[in-house]
């Protein structure tokens, strides 16, 4: 993750909107792609964004698995 990373919101629905209140667990929706592109008929993700997502998922898995 680089210095240009930012946290923000999006204007679309996620199943977590229902699951979080029901289960009382924290959430983070992360993944490659452009905001608002998810679920579109012409949805696409760049190879670079996919590679970055792999790095993020790897960091999360290592943190969770090693404590």
pLDDT (0 to 100) of residue 37: 79
pLDDT (0 to 100) of residue 64: 93
Nearest-5° Cα angle at 36, 62 to 42: 100
One DSSP character per residue, 27-58 reads -----SS-TTTTT-TT----HHHHHHHHHHHH
pLDDT digits (tens, 9 = 90+) for 2-35: 567 777 766 667 788 888 888 888 887 788 888 7
Tokens of 3: 């210095």
CA distance 10 to 2: 21
Tokens of 60: 């999360």
């Amino acid at each position: 993750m680089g210095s240009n990373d930012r946290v923000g919101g999006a204007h679309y629905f996620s199943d977590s909107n229902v699951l979080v209140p029901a289960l009382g667990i924290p959430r983070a929706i992360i993944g490659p792609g452009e905001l608002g592109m998810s679920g579109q008929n012409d949805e696409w993700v760049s190879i670079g964004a996919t590679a970055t997502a792999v790095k993020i998922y790897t960091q999360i898995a290592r943190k969770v698995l090693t404590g």
